[in-house]
A and B are shown apart, each in its own frame.
Chain A
Amino acid sequence: MVVVSKNPIHSVLYLILTFFTLSGHYILLNAQFISIVNLIVYAGAIMVLFLFTIMFLNLKDDSFVGSRLLYHGGALLLVLTFAGILVVKLGGAQIDVAPEASFNSQIGMVENLGMTLFNKFLVPFELVSVLFLSAMVGGVMLGRKEKGERNF
C-alpha cells in the first residue's frame, strides 16, 4: 500500500502501519526495547518529518512520465524473480530455534541491552558517534548558505 497509493500522504500513513508490524516482529523476536524505540523514533518522529517534507514539496501525482505498464511490469518481474530465488534457496535452509533451556525472556530489555552495549560493544558504540558527528557536520556544511550566488 505504501507503494501503490496515489496520494503521498496516504503512503506515509501506510508506512507507519508497516512500522507497527515491524515492531510486532521485534516483540516476537524477544526484543522489547527495540520494538518500543522503533515505534517512538520511526513511527513517531521520523514519519512526522516525512509528512512535513511531503507537505512542503507539494507533490503533484501527474508528474509521472513514461509507460506505467512497462515500469510496473518490469518491477513485478524483478521482484518475482528475486522472491523466487530466495524461496527456492532459503526454503531448504535450517534456521536454528532458540533452545528452551537457555531461553531468557529478559534479554531484550533495556538493562541487558545497555550492559552489552557498554561492555562488549563499547568501542564500536563510541565510534558510531564519530559517524553521526561527521554526518551532522556534512549536513550543516552542505546546507549552509555561502557568500556569493549559487549557480544552480
Chain B
Amino acid sequence: MLTITLLSLLGLILLFVGFLNNIGLSRTIAVLGLVAGLGSMLFLDQDILTFSGLETQLSFDSYAIKFSSLILFLSVFILFLSGKFIKKDYVQSAEFLAVLIFSLVGALMLTSFTHFITLFVGLEILGISLYILAGTDKKSPGSNEASLKYLLLGAFATGIILFGMALIYGATGSLDFQAIANLGQAKIDSSLFKFGLFFILIGLLFKVSAAPFHFWSPDVYEGSPNVVMLFMSVVVKIASFAAIYRVFGNYLNNYSFFWWDIVYYATLASLVIGNLLALVQKTVKRQLAFSSISQTGYLLFALLVIPNDQTVNGLVFYLFVYGCAVLVAFSVLTDWFGTDPNVKLDQLKGASKSDQMGSFALTIAYLSMAGIPLTGGFFAKLFMFTPAMESGLVQLLIVGILSSVVGATYYLRPIINVWFSSETPVLEKGNSYQWIAFMAGTLLLVAGVFPDTISNLIALI
C-alpha cells in the first residue's frame, strides 16, 4: 500500500519536474523513486500505511511482494534503457516517464488485489497507460497504428472482463474473491457463475496474450517503440500473469473443473502457434513477439498443476529469467541500432566483428530463451515441467518439449547471424548500455549455474 502511494506521488512529481526541461534530472528522480519503492516493498511492513478500520481491497502478502519486487527491479533497468528514446526532441519525456510510473501503479495493483474492483481498476490503469505509451513515437505511423489497435482490442477485452464480473456478481451477490471462493455448491452450479468465470478467463488470457487471443501482440509489439515493447513483454507480462494466477490459481482453484480445459487448450495453442510462427519472422521484434507468445504457453503450465508455493516460485523464477533475457537483448540492440524500431534479423550479420562483448551477451540471452543448459532458461523450463510431470500431464509435456526444440532453431538464427557471417554490419558505436547487458547476462548465468541461489532468494521473500 505504501509503495502504491509512493509511486502515484512519484508520477505526479515527475509531471512537475518536466517543467524544468531537464531529462537527466527527471530520469534520476524516477529511478530513485523506483528504488525507494522497491526498498519499501522488500524491507518495510506493508501494513504500515493501512489505517486501522480502512478496507483497502489490496493485500501485500508474500505472493504480491514477490511479483511486485520483480516488476520494480526490472523497471529500474527499463528506465535506464529509455534514455535514448526520450531524448528525441519530439518525445515528451516528462509525460512518458510519468505515464510509465502510473502504469506501474496498475501493475502493483494487479499483483495484490483481493476484490474484483481493485482487479478492474488495476487492469484499467495498466491498460490505458500502455495504449498511451505505445503511441509515444508520434512521428512513426507504426506507433500510432499500434496504439489504436491496442486501444480497440484492449477495450473489448476489458469489456468482456467487466461483463464477466457483472454475471458473477449477479450469481453470487459478492465481488470479494475470498467470499466467492467459499461459496456453496448451489450458487456455483448456476450458469450465470460459469459464464462469468468464462468471460473473465477469456479477458485475462487476452491480457497475457495467450493463443488464440494473441493477434494483437505481434502488431502492437512491432509498432511501438523498442523501450515500450520491452516494457510490455517484461513488466506487463509479469503483472498479467500475477493477476491470472491470483484469480485462478489462488482464489478460484476450487472451481478448476470449469476453466481447466480452456486453459489447457490455450496452453497447447500458444506453444504451437508461438513457436511455429516465430520460425518465419524476418524482424527481431516480431520474432521476439511470437517467442513471447510461446513463453506464455510455458508459463500457463503453472495454472494447470496443483497450486502450491513451489509453483509460484517456479513462475517467479521463469519470469525473472525471461525478463533478464529480453532486457539483455534490447540493451544490446539499443547499443547497436539506437531506437530503430524495425531491425531485421539480417542486419545482425557479422556484428561480432565490431562488438564482441555485446554479441556474447546477446548469445546468452537467446540461448536462455531457448532453454539451453548453463543458462537460466534451462532451469526455468525445468521448474515449469517438473510439477506438470508430477501431475501426469504427459501429452502437454511432449508438446512442450517438442516445441522448445522447434524454438531452439529460431533462437539460433540471430546467434548464427551474429557470429558466423562474412558481412560487416553498420552499427552505431555506443556502449552506454553495455553495463545493463553485462549485469542481466551475469544474472542469467548465475541462474543457470547456481539456480538454487536465485530460487532460495525468491522463496525467502
Contact mask for chain A residues 112-130; partner B; CB cutoff 8 A; 1 contact, 0 none: 0000000111111001101
| B390 within 8 A of partner (CB) | no
Q: Which of A5-13, A39-47, A64-72, A131-139 contacts B (4 or more CB under 8 A)?
A: A131-139
Q: A residues bordering B, Cβ < 8 Å?
A: 89-90, 92-96, 119-124, 127-128, 130-131, 133-135, 137-138, 140-142, 144, 146-148, 150-152
Q: Do A138 and B132 touch across chains, with their CB atoms under 8 A apart?
A: yes
Q: Do A147 and B131 touch across chains, with their CB atoms under 8 A apart?
A: no
How far does the alpha carbon of A93 sit from the alpha carbon of B171 in the complex, in Å?
9
- A92-B191, A138-B132 given; A131·B125 CB < 8 A: yes
How far does the alpha carbon of A69 sit from the alpha carbon of B187 in the complex, in Å?
43
Q: Do B102 and A148 touch across chains, with their CB atoms under 8 A apart?
A: no
Q: Which residues B1-33 have CB closer than 8 A to chain A? A: 1, 4, 8, 11-12, 15
| B450 within 8 A of partner (CB) | no
In the A-B complex, the 6 residue pairs with the closest CB atoms: A138-B132, A134-B102, A141-B95, A123-B56, A146-B90, A89-B191
Q: Which of B138-146, B341-349, B353-361, B432-440 contacts A (4 or more CB under 8 A)?
A: B138-146
- B98 nearest in chain A by CB position: A137
Q: Do A130 and B8 touch across chains, with their CB atoms under 8 A apart?
A: yes
Q: Do A120 and B55 touch across chains, with their CB atoms under 8 A apart?
A: yes
**Contact with A93, one of B98, B141, B190 (Cβ below 8 angstroms):** B190
Separation in Å of the B120 CB from the closest CB of chain A?
Answer: 8
Q: Decide if the interface of chain A is mainly helix, strand, loop or mixed.
A: helix
Q: Decide if the interface of chain B is mainly helix, strand, loop or mixed.
A: helix
| B406 within 8 A of partner (CB) | no
- Chain A hits for B191, CB < 8 A: 89-90, 92-93
How far does the alpha carbon of A92 sit from the alpha carbon of B190 in the complex, in Å?
8
Q: Do A138 and B144 touch across chains, with their CB atoms under 8 A apart?
A: no
Separation in Å of the A28 CB from the closest CB of chain B?
Answer: 15
How far does the alpha carbon of A119 sit from the alpha carbon of B51 in the complex, in Å?
12
Q: Do B11 and A124 touch across chains, with their CB atoms under 8 A apart?
A: no
- Chain B hits for A95, CB < 8 A: 170, 192
- Chain B hits for A148, CB < 8 A: 89-90, 139
Q: Do A124 and B117 touch across chains, with their CB atoms under 8 A apart?
A: yes
- Chain A hits for B92, CB < 8 A: 141, 144, 146
| B383 within 8 A of partner (CB) | no
- A90-B191, A94-B190, A147-B89 given; A138·B15 CB < 8 A: no
Q: Do A124 and B118 touch across chains, with their CB atoms under 8 A apart?
A: yes
- Chain B hits for A130, CB < 8 A: 8, 11, 102, 105-106, 125
Q: Do A123 and B90 touch across chains, with their CB atoms under 8 A apart?
A: no
Q: Do A124 and B121 touch across chains, with their CB atoms under 8 A apart?
A: yes
- A88 nearest in chain B by CB position: B191
| B58 within 8 A of partner (CB) | yes
Q: Do B192 and A93 touch across chains, with their CB atoms under 8 A apart?
A: yes
Sampled A-B contacts (29; CB under 8 Å): A89-B194, A90-B191, A90-B192, A92-B191, A93-B171, A93-B191, A121-B117, A123-B54, A127-B105, A130-B102, A131-B121, A131-B124, A131-B125, A131-B128, A133-B11, A134-B11, A135-B128, A135-B132, A137-B15, A138-B129, A141-B92, A141-B95, A141-B96, A142-B135, A142-B136, A146-B92, A147-B90, A151-B140, A152-B144
